[in-house]
Structure 1
């Protein structure tokens, strides 16, 4: 049994129900003979990867859905062996180089060089004129904004040298961390967050298909729109929250309190932010470190923790000058998180600096 967010994920561009102009542009790109490198960016849960895979379906057909996982082994300059998972089909590969930390350059150089140096030939279309059709292979790079500068420089060289055999589709939340040479060599496609009305319509469609029972009309009562609003316009989170609410009750009560699904780690971040604001001491800093260790151990990304603590401190702080200092401190340690390898040091450093600024 699959989650609703995967079960009802559109597979084709025609099945996408919002951002129609963007869908039409992607369809036009897929129908052209020269498909460009793409940099697809936008907030989490806006449907970036869904649109990318729908575009691949338009390019290559249903074969892109026949996925397998390969484990590649790479050797660093210090003779250290690294294992890396690659999700692939006959026409594309999906990688997340940022999982390798500061060794992402090795993945970019070795893996993409092997793929790009091999010419892709499509024999399925050679029956008409007897000549095989030259095809390119697509590489999807997740979390492109988390790549190190060295990896992005290696990526730039690969794009220049092997542009005939490979097409890159980079997915990121923002373009601020992407170097200008890569942005100038790609077509930037921004996927905005879906509106509350868009998410509400999708939730209503899923509720109809899953035969979810409600105590009242969910559209007229505004229940589905409340679920959409509470998800911060994140469609993935809205679907997961709606499924959680539906599975916990035989008949969903359409009230405002029931529309809120609070995540445990978000509550922990709010509590630790409140303690930082009220108790600015060395002993509390040590307690905060333990909480951060627990969050990191449960696979909560360090940047999400930093962002959550910063925004909660800004909400609690009424002093404009102090709030400005907190933003500057947060931006400084956000950059250090991308440069360093020990996230706990930078999170703890941010809390210590924030305590001094608040004092």
Structure 2
């Protein structure tokens, strides 16, 4: 590899995709996890990495942290000693028997161990997880595993007990705001305060959503403001969702249904998006405790029915009808 090739490989992504261009290069670049990063750094500094498990929602830095660990341990040659697999694409036992074992067995020099990063490990079948447990035992002398998952409860106990578990939470509003402002400044984008607030709201703790939203909104004009963000991310304004609930609880079912129709048809939101926004904002609405409890109760039932295959529009209208009844029955 020439010096120019090495420089290109280690530099930020040149394709123009901002989530790759601004992917953390080191642990210091990982935002919003002040309780996790120092512990990971200790492992790197001591060069004594155990098997790791990163559990948490999407877009909060699990994959970025795994890559940052590899870069800090191996430098420019990190790709030679780091195998990344997505278990949701290759979830059977063959991926463990073939690709993982072949990588662990292959000869290498200059480092004590290499890293296998298994993304979305909770998608592995039970047989594949059992095979993975045996592989972790067999090659623990020269291989470290980093498992990433949304739900640690889907990982069998024998694997969890072999890993140091780190639980990643949704990123704080402050972390997302700081990163979006930094990117906007670097890219020469005019980002308004209400635009930042809209990005933070639309992201809901997911840094990838925030960065993608910023890049998409930046294409629409020279200034990224609230209107541009809500339009490009297909997100309802909080006040629109609150108005729909107020109309229903106030007994005006027709007006509430019209607002829902606008969100689903004109704004293009999916039923699940409406439910998520209602759930996130329920306690911020100007509602009494009794009305909030009624709303959350119905949200849980509607979400379950939609997950089981029920019609989204019908279920949401039924929820509004229920709220419009004075006694909530």
* Both proteins in one fold, TM over 0.5: yes
Secondary structure of the residue that 1:138 maps to in structure 2? strand
Alignment-derived partner of residue 53 in structure 1: 67
Distance 1:16 1:259, change over 3 A: same
User: CA separation in 2, counterparts of 1:249 and 1:186?
Assistant: 47
Alignment-derived partner of residue 95 in structure 1: 85
1:178 Cα offset (Å): 0.8
1:31 counterpart = 2:31: no
Deviations 1:245-297 (A, max 9, x none): 11111233x3x33331455799xxxxxxxxxxxxxxxxxxxxxxxxxxxxxxx
Distance 1:167 1:8, change over 3 A: same
Structure 1's unaligned 5+ residue stretches are 65-88, 123-133, 267-304, 331-346
Deviations 1:199-234 (A, max 9, x none): 1111111111111135xxx24xx3312211221121
Distance 1:16 1:99, change over 3 A: closer
Kindly indicate whether the alpha-carbon contact (under 8 Å) linking 1:197 and 1:225 is maintained by their aligned counterparts in 2.
no
Secondary structure of the residue that 1:90 maps to in structure 2? helix
Kindly indicate whether the alpha-carbon contact (under 8 Å) linking 2:213 and 2:233 is maintained by their aligned counterparts in 1.
no
1:98 Cα offset (Å): 2.3
Secondary structure of the residue that 1:168 maps to in structure 2? strand
Q: Which moved more, 1:113-122 or 1:155-164?
A: 113-122
Kindly indicate whether the alpha-carbon contact (under 8 Å) linking 2:18 and 2:215 is maintained by their aligned counterparts in 1.
yes
1:145 Cα offset (Å): 1.1
Please report the TM-score for the alignment, with normalisation by the length of structure 2. 0.68
User: CA separation in 1, counterparts of 2:102 and 2:52?
Assistant: 20
Please report the TM-score for the alignment, with normalisation by the length of structure 1. 0.63
Secondary structure of the residue that 2:88 maps to in structure 1? helix
| Structure number with higher helix proportion | 2
For these two proteins, the number of residue pairs brought into alignment is: 259
Structure 2's unaligned 5+ residue stretches are 1-14, 237-269, 283-292, 320-329
1:230-269 aligned within 5 A: 230-252=202-224, 254=225, 256-261=226-231, 263=233
User: CA separation in 2, counterparts of 1:309 and 1:146?
Assistant: 27
Distance 1:261 1:105, change over 3 A: farther
Secondary structure of the residue that 1:176 maps to in structure 2? helix
Alignment-derived partner of residue 192 in structure 1: 169
1:319 Cα offset (Å): 8.0
Deviations 1:295-338 (A, max 9, x none): xxxxxxxxxx99669769999x96887766666667xxxxxxxx
